[in-house]
Amino acid sequence: MKRLILAGLAAFTLATSAHAEEIKELHFGLIATESSSGLAKTFQPMIDDLQKAIGIPVKAYFAQDYAGVIEGMRFNKVDIAWFGNKSAMEAVDRAGGEVFAQTSKPDGTKGYYSLLVTNKDRSDINGLKDVLDCSKGWNFANGDVNSTSGYLVPGYYVFALHNVTPTECYKRVINGNHESNALAVANGQVDFATTNNEMMERLAQNRPQDLAKIKEIWRSPLIPNDPMVWRTNLPADMKAKIYAFFIGYGRLGSTEEVQHARDVLAHTSDGWGVFEPSSNAQLYPIRQLELFKDKTQIQNSDKLSADEKKAKIEKIDAELAQIDKLQNSIPNM
């Protein structure tokens, strides 16, 4: 691992120009999976350690939704950020972001799951067959539109594959973060909602009385763990410091330092292990998923002519082929 870190540092410690941006304070963006106060409590110890490691103040940046953090990076108000895969893809495409690391779980778990949940007392909602019944007039809490597990994954596996458009199928559709959606279900404010298993684990720790009111009715295929993203135009020397901190955190240092870092990570978000090196290639499966969703919607559309469908599908197939080619060019991908 030491060799891996040194190799990574060599890639980032390129000579910077005399006019390179001077970073006096680093802004760490946090996606809105729950309340700002809840996020601040779990992330602050790691942010404090990052601040010591790079030698300048590090401030948490909160926004009302994922788009706020993406826009913050676009306008250089966010320097590094914790994203989900879908929001990271948007940050890379629209805000000059670049994936440099990936979270992990203490037990080595490679990912997490999107969930559909309902109130435990609901005997009339037990699976997808019930959820997809458009005659019931359900109230549905969907996820943030830039959320992987809250929106993109259920948007494909639950809705696109079954030719259902939530806004046309249900009486009311609202969008919220993972925590607010889960609590809306627990409190009987909506019939069902999207969230993820990580939020269920957080509720088990902090709000077990609410978790006891929730039941899972659908679980997605495994989603890759969350990426860490920096803005590409950060100075190379700052990138090197940031990379060294994240990849070395919980791995390098004295026995006491390693144990401290692992304890901090275990209490960050829903509980993390050490960070793994990553790149924008992590997002290829998410790009495929979004294209598959678009393709399914086009195929099921009754508003497009056969020629229009053919043209759009050919374009998507070309994009999918290009992503497949890129994936195959990466060893062990």
Q: pLDDT of 12-36, one tens digit each?
A: 544 433 345 688 999 999 987 666 6
Tell me, which fold does domain 111-223 have in CATH? D-Maltodextrin-Binding Protein; domain 2 (3.40.190)
pTM for the whole structure:
0.80
Q: Could you give the 3-state DSSP secondary structure of residue 319?
A: helix
Q: Dihedral angle at the C-alpha atoms of 296, 298, 303, 308, nearest 10 degrees? A: -150
CATH 3.40.190.10 in the chain is located at 2-109+225-280, 111-223
Alpha helices in 55-151 (DSSP H): 66-74, 85-94, 128-131
| pLDDT < 70 positions in the chain | 1-21, 33-36, 331-333
Q: Which residues contact 259 (CB under 8 A, 6 or more apart)?
A: none
Tell me, which fold does domain 2-109+225-280 have in CATH? D-Maltodextrin-Binding Protein; domain 2 (3.40.190)
CATH 1.20.58.90 in the chain is located at 285-328
Q: Could you give the 3-state DSSP secondary structure of residue 13?
A: coil
Alpha-carbon span 127 to 116, nearest angstrom = 9
pLDDT of amino acid 161: 87
Which tokens go with 284? 């290829």
User: If you classify domain 285-328 with CATH, what class do you get?
Assistant: mainly alpha
